[in-house]
C-alpha cells in the first residue's frame, strides 16, 4: 500500500554541474558513493534504462552477475533514503519524473540559445545565463562512462556561451558579452571561435590594443600547445578589425 508520503514526494533537486548534490526540501541528502553514481548515471538519461546496461556501465570490470548484484544493493540503499527516487519496472530503471536535474535543464537552455529560440531581443536574457553555463559536469569524478556525456555538455555549452556573447554584442551590451565570451575561452582555451568573438567585442568597444593582445595571446598558446597557427578566419578578422 502506498503511503501519503509516496503519493506526495518531496521537492527534489539533483545537481551534477560543479559536483554532486541531492537536495530535498532544501536539505542535503547524504548518500554513499555507489548511490551517488547510480543517481548521476540515471540523471544523465531522459528515458529508463535496461538494468543490465546500468550494471555493466557502473561496474564494467565485474562479472555480469556480480554487477547485477551490486546494482540491486545500490538500488536498495537509494530506496532507504527515499523510496520514490527511482522508478523501476522489472527490467528498467529511471530517475523519478519529479526529480529536477540541473544538467537536463541547462541542456534545454543551451539548445534554445544555440537555436535562437529565446526571442530576438538579447535584452531578455538573464545576466546570470553565462554563470549557468559555466560549470563542468561532475569535474572531480573519473568514471569510465563519464567522458562522452561530459564532452557532449562541454561542446553544447561552448556553442551556447558564444551565442550569448553574440546576442549581447549585437545590442552593444559589452560587459555581458565579455562575460560570456571569457567564460567560453576559460572553458576551452584552445577553441578559436571563442577567441574570435572575444576579439570582436574588444574591437567593438574601440579597445584595439586589447583585441590585438588577445590575438597574440591565442597565437602563442596555439603554437606552444599544438605547434599550429590560427586559421585563415582569424587572420582575416584581424586584418578587417585593425584600424588603418
Domain count, the chain: 2
Does the pLDDT value for residue 125 go beyond 60?
Answer: yes
Is residue 20 a part of any domain in this protein? yes
Pairwise CA distance, residues 141 & 184, whole Å:
22
Q: What is the model's pLDDT at position 183?
A: 95
Better pLDDT: 128 or 150: 150
Which range of residues forms the domain containing residue 161? Answer: 120-241
Residues 73 and 125 in one domain: no
Nearest to 90 by CA among 64, 147, 138, 51: 51
Residues 231 and 125 in one domain: yes
Nearest to 215 by CA among 242, 180, 188: 242
Query: Look-up: residue for cell 526540501?
Result: 25
Q: What is the model's pLDDT at position 4?
A: 44
Alpha-carbon separation of residue 74 from 78, 100, 197 (angstroms):
6, 21, 46
Q: What is the model's pLDDT at position 106?
A: 95
Pairwise CA distance, residues 83 & 99, whole Å:
13
Residues 125 and 181 in one domain: yes
Can you give the CATH number for the domain in which 196 is found?
1.25.40.10
Model pLDDT for residues 92-112, shown as the tens digit of each residue: 999 999 999 999 999 999 999
Is residue 114 a part of any domain in this protein? no
**Cell numbers that stand for 116 in this block:** 535562437
Can you give the CATH number for the domain in which 58 is found?
1.10.10.10
Model pLDDT for residues 58-93, shown as the tens digit of each residue: 999 878 889 999 999 999 999 999 999 998 777 899
Question: Looking at residues 155-173, what average pLDDT do you find?
Answer: 94
Q: What is the mean pLDDT of the chain?
A: 90
Q: What is the model's pLDDT at position 43?
A: 97
Span of 174-178, 203-207, 238-242 with lowest mean pLDDT: 238-242
Residues 159 and 215 in one domain: yes
* Strand pairing class (27-28; 86-88): unpaired
Does the pLDDT value for residue 45 go beyond 50?
Answer: yes
Is residue 108 a part of any domain in this protein? no
Question: Looking at residues 213-223, what average pLDDT do you find?
Answer: 96
Is residue 148 a part of any domain in this protein? yes
Is residue 103 a part of any domain in this protein? no
Does the pLDDT value for residue 5 go beyond 60?
Answer: no
Q: What is the model's pLDDT at position 63?
A: 83
Amino acid at each position: 500500500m502506498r503511503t501519503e508520503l509516496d503519493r506526495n514526494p518531496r521537492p527534489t533537486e539533483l545537481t551534477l554541474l560543479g559536483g554532486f548534490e541531492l537536495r530535498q526540501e532544501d536539505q542535503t541528502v547524504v548518500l554513499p558513493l555507489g548511490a551517488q553514481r547510480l543517481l548521476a548515471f540515471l540523471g544523465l538519461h531522459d528515458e529508463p534504462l535496461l538494468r543490465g546496461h546500468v550494471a555493466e556501465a557502473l561496474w564494467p570490470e565485474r562479472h555480469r552477475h556480480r554487477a547485477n548484484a551490486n546494482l540491486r544493493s545500490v538500488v536498495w540503499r537509494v530506496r532507504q533514503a527515499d523510496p520514490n527516487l527511482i522508478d523501476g519496472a522489472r527490467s528498467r530503471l529511471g530517475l523519478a519524473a519529479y526529480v529536477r536535474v540541473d544538467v537536463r535543464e541547462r541542456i534545454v537552455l543551451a539548445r534554445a540559445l544555440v537555436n535562437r529560440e529565446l526571442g530576438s531581443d538579447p535584452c531578455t536574457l538573464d545576466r546570470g545565463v553565462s554563470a549557468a553555463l559555466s560549470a563542468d559536469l561532475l569535474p572531480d569524478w573519473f568514471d569510465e562512462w563519464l567522458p562522452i556525456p561530459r564532452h557532449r555538455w562541454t561542446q553544447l555549452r561552448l556553442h551556447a556561451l558564444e551565442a550569448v556573447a553574440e546576442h549581447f554584442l549585437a545590442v552593444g551590451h559589452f560587459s555581458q558579452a565579455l562575460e560570456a565570451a571569457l567564460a567560453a575561452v576559460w572553458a576551452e582555451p584552445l577553441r578559436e571561435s571563442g577567441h574570435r568573438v572575444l576579439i570582436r567585442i574588444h574591437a567593438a568597444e574601440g579597445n584595439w590594443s586589447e583585441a590585438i593582445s588577445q590575438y597574440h595571446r591565442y597565437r602563442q598558446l596555439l603554437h606552444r600547445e599544438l605547434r599550429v597557427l590560427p586559421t585563415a578566419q582569424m587572420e582575416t578578422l584581424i586584418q578587417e578589425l585593425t584600424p588603418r
